Chains A and B, each alone.
Chain A
């Protein structure tokens, strides 16, 4: 039984050309069928201690052709970088090179076990060492912690290193300063490390208000967490002074490296005075976003924090690379994750870096900033840039240009979907009303930018004419699903399929 409302479908099947409907796998169960071939096994003699179970788990049976079709149809309902521009601010949705994928699958890299003897995986340790070396030099920092699994995990690593350093000094400082424009992971991470979050306002230019920052300094301040360039797409020009100020009172400067793409190869965060910074390999260094992960968040550390790095880390001993896995007796903050880090992402990131080299990376940041400024310049008359002057790798607009139209930032984004584009980031950063944060990245061609700009410009004009409010409120109408009821999803969460759902609301017309 399908879940298509017959009265709205212009076809018998519910499909519309290449827009194919697809049931859940559980609704296609063919008992006894399987997509793999394994012979039956006699386990009458076993070592299972009476825990052998005969319960029916409930997994549906499908053959390989059915599986290929199922997931192919699902894939057709997804937008992706491979399909078009993905201008999400602070996400750095750049092209994912396919060479990266080929290298990650090489025999000798994809098929090695984390606990093999060191002599049998010297190549693997060399990959990690070489990547770490590039990251150290690109950032001008003393050490790199490779284990964190994602950006937020890297933030945790950095803030734990700061806590460890303070504990080592015998100092109990509980306050961490966080700009109001910061990404939500920053205050969440600080709280997870036992700190109290103290917000700092931005000034009218969109950067940290230096006076407000200085007013908050005190002997109980452990650190300030800064994003640079910040979430408004602007370089924190006072950052060197902020670093000096915080160091003077004995605190640390944590840098959220999510926006590193704007300055990679041109500015070294180490020169700015930061003590630690996480790098999102899945942003700046092109490892694929994969629909929400996996990521990788190595953390570069200044000398002041290097000894507190988590285990494991790589050492070169008598010409052989080895992993140091035991934190006992050292200053290390401990272990953050089983095994050694996101090796699959390390291979991809190193491949990317070797492909670009220092000259390529120089061009990456240059073109990233160029592309964002081009968008800003083309749209600044029709839309409302949040701050005056040029931006870095992302352009931030407020919803002022939509005032009195009845069209919200959300409606504008949904209309953009019908135009065939994934919308920019909306309602972030919180410090700008109805924020729209556009980051094209350096891998968009001029033609692609012009197409996107034309739609943004056109939609802004239509909104201002105030003649088509309905078309904004009803958007999107061309996608496989229209706007979805998030309220009911939150009030009555249905988080898995069950065979009781035959009477679920979704069948009702």
Chain B
């Protein structure tokens, strides 16, 4: 078998050295009742061609962004990834390397993580960032638990405008971790009064901008209200391209910023693997979960990097660890940092501007359709519309025209009647002006039929 280099002749030599007659003998100490005598009755090995045929057939049953016009967001965004990114992350020294526990053999990984940490701190406007988490939603849950540790309080407020999956993850941790989540049910179009909910047993307030419906927020006043009560402000950003254009959460006074980094360098890939960003104030670094790359010098006085502050982590603190996390999102973080390095100051700004311009065009075109109204007063590249018909049925019909035309709100909030006509739509630099005009035309047709 092509991945297994040990031949029968090798095996004989090795068994002689070990002093047993067969490989099976090395398994004899396992109780016979639970030891299989031969391979399971499942398909046998296959060559590359057969496996490729199998997987290609499965791929052919899906309609992806290569074939369809993609106008979907809700925390995962269709962006262009420069060709150089994939070439670089496929270098074996990146793809097949390990966590940099032996720093002398991993200065490549450690340097890019240090650069990644710097970039994340810069774009979020915060003092320090870690070397990534699994994704934005688990980063948000970790941020809440960190706030609980710092404030020694056990009650958290989560805005109803936060991505419903992120809220659900926080609620799961609350249920098993023994803290309480105060969250009002989402009511479309209602303005939240979070400041009123903060009391001196609240550890943190969790908000998002752009929010799940695409609205933009300035949390400066909320940050002050939190500070006055000794609570931390946690800001979630699910579309980090927005940071190329907008006031940063750090400037608003956030204590912790968590974000989904997928928009840079990482394909949609049906929801994973993605990369969580985590940034906070310098005074909290010892409470921060996840890995950290730190600068130092070697025995010759040369600059280099190591994983540092590891004593927070599970392999040392065990049950007293700040988190049980072991892996970060290595290769996804690398893709992110390469993409952002290619963009640079000018490119990041232009990319963000292009996103807003395309979304503005889409909003303008769709807004002209009779019976369609856009809820948002502000948005970056994503906004919410109310249709004159069922959003789900509309989306299914658009799919038959090769258009992924939005996500029905009922997918997230159940069969609430007032949401059945509500649709979340996104446009990015990947949507050309022609595509946008086509979409509007087809949508008008579908709604009028």
Q: Direct contact between A and B in the complex (CB less than 8 angstroms)?
A: yes
Complex interface residues of chain B between 144 and 177 (CB less than 8 A to chain A): 163, 165-166, 168-169, 171-172, 175-177
Given the complex, which residues of A lie within 8 Å of B55, measured CB to CB?
A: 103, 106, 109, 127, 347, 350-351, 354
A266 within 8 A of partner (CB):
yes
CB distance from B328 to the nearest CB of A (A): 5
B327 & A488 in contact (Cβ 8 Å cutoff): no
Given the complex, which residues of A lie within 8 Å of B75, measured CB to CB?
A: 338-339
B233 within 8 A of partner (CB):
no
CB distance from A411 to the nearest CB of B (A): 13
A120 & B31 in contact (Cβ 8 Å cutoff): no
B96 & A114 in contact (Cβ 8 Å cutoff): no
Nearest-neighbor residue (CB-CB) of A418 within chain B:
B104
Given the complex, which residues of A lie within 8 Å of B295, measured CB to CB?
A: 489, 494-495, 504, 506
Given the complex, which residues of A lie within 8 Å of B135, measured CB to CB?
A: 149, 337-339
B193 within 8 A of partner (CB):
no
Complex interface residues of chain B between 239 and 285 (CB less than 8 A to chain A): 243-248, 251, 260, 267-275, 285
A360 & B327 in contact (Cβ 8 Å cutoff): no
B267 & A43 in contact (Cβ 8 Å cutoff): no
A121 & B62 in contact (Cβ 8 Å cutoff): yes
Given the complex, which residues of B lie within 8 Å of A331, measured CB to CB?
A: none
A502 within 8 A of partner (CB):
no
Given the complex, which residues of A lie within 8 Å of B395, measured CB to CB?
A: 117
A142 within 8 A of partner (CB):
no
Given the complex, which residues of A lie within 8 Å of B27, measured CB to CB?
A: 266, 369
B62 & A122 in contact (Cβ 8 Å cutoff): yes
Q: How far is the CA of A19 from the CA of B321 in the complex (A)?
A: 38
A402 within 8 A of partner (CB):
no
B318 & A370 in contact (Cβ 8 Å cutoff): no
| CB-CB under 8 A for A480 and B92, given A294-B332, A370-B15 | no
Nearest-neighbor residue (CB-CB) of A37 within chain B:
B347
| CB-CB under 8 A for A482 and B300, given A111-B267, A334-B171 | yes
A194 within 8 A of partner (CB):
yes
B370 within 8 A of partner (CB):
no
A240 & B34 in contact (Cβ 8 Å cutoff): yes
A47 & B105 in contact (Cβ 8 Å cutoff): no
Query: What mask results when residues 42 to 73 of chain B are scored 1 for a CB within 8 Å of chain A, else 0?
Result: 11111010111011111111111111101010
Nearest-neighbor residue (CB-CB) of B300 within chain A:
A8
B92 & A356 in contact (Cβ 8 Å cutoff): no
| CB-CB under 8 A for A49 and B326, given A88-B98, A351-B51 | no
Nearest-neighbor residue (CB-CB) of A111 within chain B:
B64
Q: Which of A50, A192, A334 has a CB less than 8 Å from the CB of B175?
A: A334
Number of A residues near B (Cβ < 8 Å) is 210
Query: What mask results when residues 98 to 114 of chain A are scored 1 for a CB within 8 Å of chain B, else 0?
Result: 01011111111111111
Number of B residues near A (Cβ < 8 Å) is 207
Q: How far is the CA of A123 from the CA of B55 in the complex (A)?
A: 9
Q: How far is the CA of A120 from the CA of B401 in the complex (A)?
A: 12
A481 & B103 in contact (Cβ 8 Å cutoff): yes
| CB-CB under 8 A for A337 and B92, given A59-B343, A95-B3, A493-B292 | no
B100 within 8 A of partner (CB):
yes
Q: Which of B45, B112, B333 has a CB less than 8 Å from the CB of A71?
A: B112
Q: How far is the CA of A46 from the CA of B376 in the complex (A)?
A: 13
Q: How far is the CA of A504 from the CA of B295 in the complex (A)?
A: 10
Nearest-neighbor residue (CB-CB) of B61 within chain A:
A123
Given the complex, which residues of A lie within 8 Å of B2, measured CB to CB?
A: 355
A468 within 8 A of partner (CB):
no
A485 within 8 A of partner (CB):
yes
A295 within 8 A of partner (CB):
yes
Complex interface residues of chain A between 169 and 224 (CB less than 8 A to chain B): 183-185, 187-194, 197
Q: Which of B17, B64, B345 has a CB less than 8 Å from the CB of A109?
A: B64
Complex interface residues of chain A between 139 and 190 (CB less than 8 A to chain B): 149-153, 155-156, 160, 163, 183-185, 187-190
A112 & B98 in contact (Cβ 8 Å cutoff): no
- Which one of B5-13, B182-190, B221-229, B436-444 contacts A? B5-13
Given the complex, which residues of B lie within 8 Å of A24, measured CB to CB?
A: 111, 114-115, 118
CB distance from A117 to the nearest CB of B (A): 5
Nearest-neighbor residue (CB-CB) of B316 within chain A:
A184
CB distance from A245 to the nearest CB of B (A): 16
CB distance from A158 to the nearest CB of B (A): 12
Given the complex, which residues of B lie within 8 Å of A498, measured CB to CB?
A: 118
Q: How far is the CA of A114 from the CA of B103 in the complex (A)?
A: 37
Nearest-neighbor residue (CB-CB) of B126 within chain A:
A496
Nearest-neighbor residue (CB-CB) of A65 within chain B:
B84
Q: Which of B118, B346, B378 has a CB less than 8 Å from the CB of A32?
A: B346
- Which one of A283-291, A299-307, A457-465 contacts B? A283-291
Query: What mask results when residues 107 to 128 of chain B are scored 1 for a CB within 8 Å of chain A, else 0?
Result: 1110110110111011101001
CB distance from A127 to the nearest CB of B (A): 6
- Among B63, B91, B100, B135, the one with the most A-chain Cβ atoms within 10 Å of its Cβ is B63
Query: What mask results when residues 43 to 78 of chain A are scored 1 for a CB within 8 Å of chain B, else 0?
Result: 101111111110111111110100110111011111
B111 & A110 in contact (Cβ 8 Å cutoff): no
B107 & A480 in contact (Cβ 8 Å cutoff): yes
Given the complex, which residues of B lie within 8 Å of A272, measured CB to CB?
A: 34
| CB-CB under 8 A for A111 and B268, given A41-B354, A76-B93, A126-B61 | yes
B445 within 8 A of partner (CB):
no
Given the complex, which residues of A lie within 8 Å of B194, measured CB to CB?
A: none
A433 within 8 A of partner (CB):
no
Q: Which of B40, B103, B323, B353 has a CB less than 8 Å from the CB of A358?
A: B40
B298 & A292 in contact (Cβ 8 Å cutoff): no
Q: How far is the CA of A284 from the CA of B325 in the complex (A)?
A: 19
Given the complex, which residues of B lie within 8 Å of A108, measured CB to CB?
A: 58-64, 66-67
B74 within 8 A of partner (CB):
yes
| CB-CB under 8 A for A149 and B350, given A25-B115, A75-B108, A335-B168 | no
Top 7 nearest A-B pairs by Cβ distance?
Answer: A339-B271, A290-B331, A82-B92, A123-B61, A35-B342, A114-B271, A108-B59
What are 12 A-to-B residue pairs whose CB atoms are below 8 Å?
Answer: A71-B94, A112-B63, A184-B318, A187-B318, A282-B327, A355-B51, A367-B6, A374-B17, A417-B104, A483-B299, A485-B297, A506-B303
- Sample of 8 more A-B contacts, CB < 8 Å, known A71-B338, A294-B275: A25-B341, A38-B347, A82-B93, A107-B67, A111-B268, A153-B138, A371-B6, A389-B29
